[in-house]
Amino acid sequence: MPRTVPPTPVRALLVAAAGSLAAALALAAPAAATVPATTTTTTTTTTSGDGAVSWGVRPAAAADGSARANFVYEVEPGDVVDDVLVVTNHGADPLTLDVYAADAFTTPSGALDLLAPGTPSTDLGTWVRVDRSSVDLAPGAEVEVPFVVEVPADARPGDHAAGVVTSLRTSQPGQTVQVDRRMGARVHVRVAGEAVPAVAARDGAVEVTGSANPFAPTAAFVTYTVENTGDTRLAGTAAVRVAGPGGAAAVEVVDELPELLPGDVLVRQVQVDGVWPLGRARADVDVLVEGVGLGAGSAEPRSLTATTWAVPWAQVLLLGAAVGLGLLLPRLSARAPRPGP
C-alpha cells in the first residue's frame, strides 16, 4: 500500500513546530550560572547647600594633628571623653544652627541615619552632652562646639552609635510647614567587655516572574530579613541562590549587606536574573557577616529557604500548540486531494 506523504507546505509546518519544541525543551535546563546581584546603595554627606545657605561639620583634629572622618572611641564603663565638633558656615549669610546629639540607625536602604528631632534617644545619644544648644555663625566663620561622652557604669559591652547634629529649620513665606536640614558627625563607641557578634535571618520569600518568550529565562525576586542580634556592628554578604527541582538550573548572586548596628533590622530584596521556570523554584539565602573593627569576630552563619510555584506557561503553551498542530496536520493531509494515476 503506498505511503501517504503530507504536501510540502504541511511538511514545512511540522518541521518548524518540531524544531521550536526541541529548542524550548533544550533551553529549559541550562547549566548553573553566577551573575552579580542588583542592589541599590545610598550615601550620606556632611555638606548641604541651597543657594547662600551652606555649612559643614567635621571632627576637630586628633591630638597628633591628623584629620578624622568621624568620632571613634574605645572606652571602659564609667569613662568620660571630651571632644570637639567644628562647624563652618560656607555661605554668604549668617546662620543660627541648633546642636544636639541623637541615636543612629540603619535606614531600609542601608544608609546610616540619625533620629529625627522629637524622637527620644535611648542609647549613645543620651550619653553625649553638648556644650551649647545652638551656634551663631557669621559668613565664612568657623565655630568649635565642645561635647562630652559620659559612659554609664552599666553600659552594655560592644558597639554603640550616635551623631552630633546641626540643624537649620526654615519655612517659606505664607507656609506653616518647616523644612529641617540636618548634618551630623558620626560617633562610634565600643565599650570594653564580652561582646558577641550575632545575626538572624528570617521571613524568606521568592517570586518568579512570568515571561512571554519560551526561549528566554526570567527573573526571580528573593526577599528576606536580616537582624543584628549581637553587640557589635556587622558587615558582610548573603549568597542568594535560586534553582528548580533537584537544584536544576541554579543561579546564584551575592548581596552586599550594608553595615548593621546592634538591634537593626533590615529587609532586603534581591533580583536574580537568568532563572528558568521549571514548575517549582527554591531560594536559599546564606548570610555570612563579621563584626566591624579590630577583634570584633565573626557571627555564626545563618541560612533560610523559601519555595514557590514557577509554572513555565510560555513553554506549556508552545507545547500545547505543537501537540495540537501535530494532531491537526494528519487530518488536513488526509483531506488533501491526491494526484491522479
Residue by residue, what is the 3-state secondary structure of 29-86?
CCCCEECCCECCCCCCCCEEEECCEEEEEEECCCCCCCCCCCEEEEECCCCEEEEEEE
Q: What is the pLDDT of residue 8?
A: 38
Q: What is the pLDDT of residue 86?
A: 97
Q: With contact defined as beta carbons under 8 Å apart, do 263 and 236 qualify?
A: no
Q: What is the pLDDT of residue 6?
A: 40
Considering the domain delimited by 47-191, tell me its CATH architecture.
Sandwich (2.60)
Q: What is the pLDDT of residue 297?
A: 85
Q: What is the pLDDT of residue 53?
A: 86
User: Which parts of 69-178 are beta strand (E)?
Assistant: 71-75, 80-89, 95-106, 112-114, 128-130, 134-137, 142-150, 158-170
Q: What is the pLDDT of residue 200?
A: 98
Does the domain made of 197-311 have the CATH classification 2.60.40.10? yes
How many helices (H) and strands (E) are present in the chain, helices listed first?
A: 3, 19
Q: What is the pLDDT of residue 65?
A: 87
**Sequence-ordered list of residues with C-beta below 8 angstroms from that of 238, at least 6 positions apart, any chain:** 201, 224, 226, 254, 255, 257, 268, 270, 285, 286, 287, 288
Residues spanned by CATH 2.60.40.10 within the chain? 47-191, 197-311
| Residues 148-173 pLDDT 10s | 999 999 999 999 999 999 999 887 66
Which stretches of the chain score pLDDT less than 70? 1-52, 172-174, 177, 294, 313-329, 331-341
| Residues 261-281 pLDDT 10s | 999 999 999 999 999 999 899
Quick one: which of 152, 148, 149 has its CA closest to 131?
148
In the block, residue with C-alpha cell 549668617: 94
- What's the grid cell of residue 151? 559612659
Q: What is the pLDDT of residue 303?
A: 98
